[in-house]
Chain A
Amino acid sequence: MSWMQTKLIDLASRAMDLAALRHTLVSSNLANVDTPGYRTRDVDFEGEMRRATEGLSLGEPRVQQVRGLVERPDGNNVSLDREGLSLADTQLRYRLSAQLLRVEFRRLLAAINEGR
């Protein structure tokens, strides 16, 4: 690992990737709120981050159908409240990671500029 690739940069960019993936899924779920037979899909954000920090992450994160949601007669089980909450949650996580990355880049820049 070079000095440019700090642990924080590694983690924050991974978190941003995961948040973007989750946002794709939330967007898909919301787009298909009235599609007959559509099933809610999601990714376990914390589980995937834990696997990443423990170095157990092998390739792509796992996307799964969400269990235990109330199904409507047309076979669709998208819950507006759940997706609305996920939308806000994902956005905040993305923002947090982006902010962390900015701070870290600035720290590196300070080191390059000898603290000036």
Chain B
Amino acid sequence: MNLFGILEINSSAMRAERARAEVVAANLANAETTRSAQGGPYRRQRVAFRAKRVGRFQTALEGASAIHARGVRVSRVAADPAPPVRRFDPSHPDADAQGYVNFPAINPVEEMVDLMGSARAYQLNVAAAQATKAMIVQSLDLLR
């Protein structure tokens, strides 16, 4: 693995964190959505991360760093199994016979904290990518 391969690790993390932020944004946007394609209210989505090997060839020729390099990817996006929140609102178009409406179990504060965590991790991986870039430039300077 060369220094360009390390950029792949940095970018895999940036991609994964961006996907996480997108899911959080979708959750926040649909915090009050009472009707979805699957029927019932919108279900809160959560991402699960998984470490993944990077680099095309897992051969001994690539040396130690290729064996130890780990990027990250979103392994799946799953719905939160928490039951919907029932609120009494008989005038609502989606109210049931008893006058209750099922709202998604989404806590905006929780989502914001998740968003902050994702933004911070993104920032950190950008810093790592900048460090990688600086190292590439330094080794290129040897050729001048």
Binding site for B on A (CB under 8 A): 16, 19-21, 23-28, 30-36, 38, 41, 60-61, 63, 80, 83-84, 87, 90-91, 94-95, 98, 101-102, 105
> Known contacts A25-B68, A63-B64: does B138 contact A34 (CB below 8 Å)?
no
Contacts between chains A and B (CB distance < 8 A), count = 106
B-chain residues with CB within 8 Å of residue A35 when the two chains form the complex: 49-51, 72
> Known contacts A33-B124, A87-B128, A105-B142: does B69 contact A28 (CB below 8 Å)?
yes
* CA gap between A16 and B138 in the complex, in Å: 11
Among the interface residues A19, A33, A60, which one has the most CB atoms of the partner chain B within 10 A? A33
A contact patch SS: helix
B-chain residues with CB within 8 Å of residue A25 when the two chains form the complex: 68
CB contact between A41 and one of B50, B68, B120, B125 (< 8 Å): that residue:
B68
Closest chain-A Cβ to B22's Cβ sits at a distance in Å of 15
Among the interface residues A23, A32, A105, which one has the most CB atoms of the partner chain B within 10 A? A32
> Known contacts A20-B3, A24-B65, A60-B63: does B127 contact A31 (CB below 8 Å)?
no
* CA gap between A38 and B1 in the complex, in Å: 21
Binding site for A on B (CB under 8 A): 1-3, 5-6, 9-10, 12-13, 16-17, 20, 48-51, 63-65, 68-72, 117-118, 120-121, 124-125, 127-128, 131-132, 134-135, 138-139, 141-142
Can you name 15 extra interface pairs (CB under 8 A) apart from A30-B128, A34-B121?
Answer: A24-B5, A27-B69, A28-B71, A30-B10, A30-B125, A31-B12, A31-B128, A32-B49, A32-B70, A33-B121, A34-B117, A36-B48, A90-B131, A91-B131, A95-B134
Evaluate contact between A24 and B131: CB separation under 8 angstroms. no
B-chain residues with CB within 8 Å of residue A38 when the two chains form the complex: 51, 70
Evaluate contact between B131 and A87: CB separation under 8 angstroms. yes
Evaluate contact between B124 and A98: CB separation under 8 angstroms. no
Evaluate contact between B142 and A63: CB separation under 8 angstroms. no
* CA gap between A105 and B63 in the complex, in Å: 26
Q: Taking CB as reference atom, which chain A residue is nearest B121? A: A33
CB contact between B6 and one of A27, A41, A84 (< 8 Å): that residue:
A27
* CA gap between A87 and B63 in the complex, in Å: 21
* CA gap between A65 and B50 in the complex, in Å: 18
